[in-house]
Amino acid sequence: MNKPLSGKNGSLKEMPVIRADRPFIEPPEWAILERRLMDVMNEAVDPLVERYIRPDGTIMWPTRDDHIGIDALDDMYESFFNWPLYYAIGGHEKFKDLSLKEFDAITRQFAKYDTGTGHKMIEKEYEQGYDWFHQGEGYTMFYHMALMDPQHAVTRERAVRFAGFFLNEDPDAVNFDEELAMIPYPHSGSKGATDRNIRRNSDGWYYQDWMKYYGLPFQDVPGVRSLEDIKHEAGALALGAAVAERMSKGDVPLNLLATSMVTNAYLHTGDPKYKAWVKRYVEAWMERTKQNGGVIPDNVGLSGVIGEHNGGKWYGGWYGWTWPHGWVSIGQGVAAAGENAMLLMSDSGYLEFLRSQLETLESRSVEHEGTKFVPYKYGDPGWYGYEMQGDNVLFEGGETSVAFQKENPPVLWKDGWFEFQPMDPVYPTHLWYMSMRPDDLERLNRLRNYRNPDWNDIRYVRAKDQAGHDYAWVSYLQGEYPSYPVEILKYNLAQAYQRLDFMNTDTEDPAGYKDDYIQIRNPVTLEGLLQLTMGAPSPLYNGGLLMAMLRYYDADAQRPGLPPDVAALVEKLDEGGVAVKLVNLHPTRSRRAIVQAGAFGEHRFTGVKYEARGASAGEGGKVGGSTTMEKMPSGISAPSAEYREEELNGKWLLVELGAGCHTTLELGISRFANDPSYEEPWK
């Protein structure tokens, strides 16, 4: 039944209402852990703020006021990347205030530092010009801020203005070639697309210790046969000149991450110009991929020709197939572009962009001990004796152990492809999640690591977003890992407590802080909460938007997130809908939760089947209707459940949860049936 609903700040939009009045008797362990994790993180942020951030919100890096550089602005915003998203899940009110404060403070602080290229690090409140591997990491925080409060005037104004930089709406920030539908340089920003940052490498590509993990960007530079050669001036100058000439200009796949900035503006405004820009730019890259035989090229010249500045080679661009991360960074751009285009156009055909690249890599895989090792990189024959950081890459001879590197063998290079390793779960998971196609789920299962199974238990994963358990989550959804909810929440609690212990025992001198000093202390970890409450994978780390089947609002507080004491568990996902348990742990107070179809209301509810208290004459009385009686492990019988069913036709549903009550909602969903927006469920 639709009816207007009151809240503390005004009336809510009309929406259907159901009442969950069935007591649970024994609270589920997962629900207790979910709320405990939120309680811990709500408190754990206080020592970080008090000790590692100045009262005005500025941070303790750089450690010198005369800092000069183009790097690490992303690390500053990145330090707080998940705070606004945590607020949107239901985190304490302080996270909204802190997120707004930190974004403003960092923006002011870094507008003071020089880049050495004629501009400050921040101009017009935005990155002056850098690659989207780093911009994407940094501005993820900004995208999530809209989920906190899309009506916040400054956030909204910035969203429109920042996207305008890429629509050439600011004459000082020309970032898009309208004729060729390309961002013409690997670095772009508020001072326009540019080659100035990379051309600095013509002064010499001198060896730095981090390079030992990534090898050489080119194998054909005279006098540069290994990293040893750039420890000397002649080799460093030769390689630096090649980098400046070949990599500093033209479009690269990483630039596809700019589609998130433009999509964010559309979600704020609904202006069709943003949708048109995303459509044109993504389709331009899809056409280039088609022209290149199905493999996305990593460098497109200023004339729109693939390989134009790199001797005709489709590989060897900035953050491309050869160096430094290969598929890791290529995949982020492709996946985000496909997701954003599907979200805006409601067209699953855009997912073929990501699907085709996964098929390309799988078709070139090498099977080793039952696992498909897919290539992450492509390059010319040459020297591949650099170091790897984990036991997951094939070396010549079939070994994968880091200990094997004592002999300094090269990584396996085959027909141009190299760095063969098990597929990172984030890419096949996001593809299946967006498509819900059975063949995409089959591909995901094929690409799991059967040599060292990583989908049936929780393992430590070294990752910036403290995530990486996508295969295990999907295994749970398939019914293969029923204890996953409890185990991932315990793991997340351990992560938070470990960061607290780190801060409690920290003796590091602030004068020695590096740019990631807050990142490695941040106690907020969201993988489990996203998966279990929203039925959502972690957003793509280098600048993906939140893609979620469900989202929640507190109807009484009129703010985003689960109401206090309420826990949620998504148990099933498929093309037709979602099954989610809702539990109110408070013993005496009811709670009202608004459930939204999609992170941006892009889905539409078509119906709901749910549990309510069955008709009964009291304990031991007659049970009538479609009811069941449930017996708890304690032997106490829970009141009978009656299953009710209603038709729905909208993006919101209000659930009134009685004190100590629970329900399971089986929600029919028409996916991508609505125009996405940041619209909230109150007037």
Q: What is the pLDDT of residues 42-59, one digit of tens each?
A: 999 999 999 999 999 999
Selection from 411, 561, 541 nearest residue 470 by Cα: 541
What pLDDT digit, counting tens, does each position of 144-184 carry?
999 999 999 999 999 999 999 999 999 999 999 999 999 99
Q: Is the pLDDT of residue 14 over 70?
A: yes
Q: Is the pLDDT of residue 402 over 90?
A: no
The pLDDT value recorded for residue 390 is 75
In a domain, 443, yes or no: no
- Beta bridge partner(s), residue 646: 608
Mean pLDDT value of segment 458-462: 90
Q: Is the pLDDT of residue 616 over 60?
A: no
Chain centroid to CA 294: 26
Distance in angstroms (rounded) separating the CA atoms of residues 27 and 88: 24
CATH classification at residue 560 = 2.60.40
Q: Is the pLDDT of residue 205 over 50?
A: yes
The pLDDT value recorded for residue 633 is 61
In a domain, 132, yes or no: no
In a domain, 680, yes or no: no
In a domain, 656, yes or no: yes
In a domain, 512, yes or no: no
The pLDDT value recorded for residue 625 is 42
Q: Is the pLDDT of residue 243 over 50?
A: yes
Cis peptide leading into residue 324 (ω within 30°): yes
E-only strand ranges, 172-258 = none
Looking up tokens 């100045």 gives: 54
Distance in angstroms (rounded) separating the CA atoms of residues 660 and 301: 63
Distance in angstroms (rounded) separating the CA atoms of residues 365 and 388: 19
Selection from 242, 212, 211 nearest residue 224 by Cα: 242
Looking up tokens 């939009």 gives: 13
The chain-wide mean pLDDT, for the chain, equals: 93
The pLDDT value recorded for residue 25 is 87
Q: Is the pLDDT of residue 515 over 50?
A: yes
Give percent of the chain above pLDDT 70: 93
Coil vs helix vs strand at 623: strand
The pLDDT value recorded for residue 199 is 87
The pLDDT value recorded for residue 624 is 37
Chain centroid to CA 173: 27
Selection from 221, 396, 240, 214 nearest residue 321 by Cα: 214
DSSP 8-state assignment for residue 115: -
The pLDDT value recorded for residue 620 is 35
Q: Give Rg (Cα) of the chain.
A: 26
**Which domain covers residue 16, as residue numbers?**
2-27+549-670
In a domain, 619, yes or no: yes
* DSSP-H helix ranges across 511-601: 527-529
DSSP 8-state assignment for residue 521: G
The pLDDT value recorded for residue 623 is 33
Convert 594-608 to b/e letters by CB count within 10 Å (16 or more is b).
Answer: bbbbbbbbbbbbbeb
The pLDDT value recorded for residue 118 is 87
Coil vs helix vs strand at 483: coil
Better-scored residue on pLDDT, 271 or 387: 271
Mean pLDDT value of segment 443-449: 97
Provide CB contacts within 8 A for 513, sequence distance 6+.
60, 61, 63
Give me the DSSP letters along 396-451.
TTS---GGGGGG-PPBPEETTEEEEEEPPTHHHHHHHHHH--HHHHHHHHHTS-SS
Q: Is the pLDDT of residue 575 over 50?
A: yes
The pLDDT value recorded for residue 448 is 96
Beta strands 559-560; 566-574: pairing state: unpaired
pLDDT category of residue 619 using cuts at 50, 70 and 90 = very low
In a domain, 496, yes or no: no
What pLDDT digit, counting tens, does each position of 363-397 carry?
999 999 999 999 999 999 999 999 887 778 999 87
Give percent of the chain above pLDDT 90: 87
* DSSP-H helix ranges across 622-662: none
258-269 helix and 153-166 helix, angle to the nearest 10 degrees = 130
In a domain, 436, yes or no: no
What pLDDT digit, counting tens, does each position of 208-242 carry?
999 999 999 999 999 999 999 999 999 999 999 99
- AA identity, residue 661: C
CA dihedral 516, 520, 526, 531 (to 10 degrees): 90
Better-scored residue on pLDDT, 640 or 64: 64
**Alpha-carbon torsion (114, 117, 120, 126), positive or negative:** negative
Per the structure, how many domains does the chain have? Answer: 1
